[in-house]
Amino acid sequence: MRHSLLRRAFACLLLTPVTYGCVVPPPPGASGPPVAEVLPADARALAYGRSAGEILEHPQIRDKVRSLFGADWAPTAAAVGRPTAAAPLFFERGGPVRMVHIGDADYIAITGCAVQACASRRGLLLVREGGEQLMARLDEGGFSHHYAYGSGAVGGPGGAAPVLDSALRALERASDGSPFPRPGP
């Protein structure tokens, strides 16, 4: 009986920090994710092309996109923590090209998915107006990979991720669901 009581007390001590760790408020001065809104369509959205494929191959963007994705543009073998497919496959079936305003900048937003796995391999590419800064997110089976390119662009979960997440939420609201192309033939 005494051992049972000690085990329960020990279990409570271990679980208490985990339980309360989830409700700690953010530190003072911490800001939330940037607010994003989808802008009405205009000519700026089509500055580099009318489809994901055209934009990825546009002469002013092509080399920057390849630098953005680096080794993930055409991986030779799947590595731990890396996408299992080449980045262009995440944009094979492109969604509509749109404009998104985030913070103090406007971005061309390109969504897409892999033809053979549209539900599980999705991509979002943001091209800042002027084309000097790019950010991307590749979603693959529950894992998200974030990328950033250009001066002032900060990659990884702490930099590009909040901007990309805000853009994706705004595109979802504007699309009444998923901003990604629908799976199909």
Q: How confident is residue 32, by pLDDT bands cut at 50, 70 and 90?
A: low
Tell me which residue of 138, 120, 122 sits closest to 81, measured CA to CA.
Answer: 138
Q: What is the mean pLDDT of residues 169-175?
A: 89
Mean pLDDT of the chain: 81
Distance (Å, whole) CA 136 – CA 155: 9
pLDDT digits (tens, 9 = 90+) for 63-96: 999 999 998 998 766 667 788 889 999 999 988 8
Q: What is the mean pLDDT of residues 103-110?
A: 93
* Cβ atoms of residues 137 and 144 within 8 Å: yes
Angle of CA points 98, 65, 138, to nearest 5°? 70
Q: Residue 121: what pLDDT?
A: 92
What are the structural domain ranges in the chain?
A: 36-175
* Helix (H) or strand (E) run with residue 106 in it: strand 105-113
So what CATH class is 36-175?
alpha beta
Distance (Å, whole) CA 125 – CA 94: 11
3-state secondary structure of 153: coil
3-state secondary structure of 102: strand
Cβ-based neighbours of 99, under 8 Å, separated by 6 or more: 38, 39, 40, 41, 42, 44, 45, 106, 107, 108, 109
Q: Residue 183: what pLDDT?
A: 63
